[in-house]
Structure 1
């Protein structure tokens, strides 16, 4: 009986560790990336390669040094648009809060740094 209790305890520890690991990784994910993940941004953009739209790193490079970039990009996310990166339009994200949009834009303009 004692051996089965040890096996059950080991299984419980393993199950708990598996449940805690994704939460720990999520806590290490930058807020801008978490918000981008939650709002389907990653369906069209990747951090380091072009998908449907430009990579976040390409966006950061294009707007580097542009003091107006945070406002321009925030407006672009909220209202959508086309023509800057090609003919495929970016849909509007009217349901995203201005604070969430700014968090994503700031993360993108910082070069979309990975988890810490």
Structure 2
């Protein structure tokens, strides 16, 4: 009986773990989730220009630029203008540096949706 109970517990644990993985596979990338929760999507889309460039355009522009993560993180935190036109990007001083870095890293790998 103890062996049966152990097998049932182990099987249940495996089912829970697999369900958790399946949910994680369906969840949007963390960078996208953070961008959505910090109003980034009001001016940017993943694949088309809105007020600002698409995240994919940003990835293409900075492809291979080793300084891009730091400069883009600073741009998100402090805001700025001139790189993509006359409309300024507002500062996001309330975003944590860790969240900014997560969004920037996600953008720089092409802003994948999965």
TM-score by length of 1: 0.76
Alignment correspondent of 1:69? 68
The answer to whether the aligner puts 1:43 opposite 2:42 as a matched pair is: yes
> 1:12-27 residue pairs with structure 2 within 5 A?
24=23
Query: How far 1:28 sits from its partner (Å)?
Result: 1.2
TM-score by length of 2: 0.78
Q: How many equivalent pairs are there?
A: 92
CA distance in 1, matches of 2:108, 2:34: 15
> 1:1-116 residue pairs with structure 2 within 5 A?
24=23, 28-115=27-114
Identify unmatched segments of 5+ residues in structure 2.
Answer: 1-22
Deviation above 2 Å: which 4+ runs of structure 1? 24-27
Query: How large is the Cα RMSD of the aligned pairs?
Result: 1.5
CA distance in 1, matches of 2:106, 2:49: 17
CA distance in 1, matches of 2:47, 2:24: 20
Query: How far 1:25 sits from its partner (Å)?
Result: 7.9
Cα distance per residue 1:92-116 (max 9 Å; x no partner): 000000000000000000000012x
Query: How far 1:82 sits from its partner (Å)?
Result: 0.2
Q: Measured at CA, do residues 68 and 43 of structure 1 come closer, stay the same or move farther in structure 2, by a change above 3 Å?
A: same
Cα distance per residue 1:24-77 (max 9 Å; x no partner): 589611000000000000000000000000000000000000000000000000
CA distance in 2, matches of 1:26, 1:87: 39
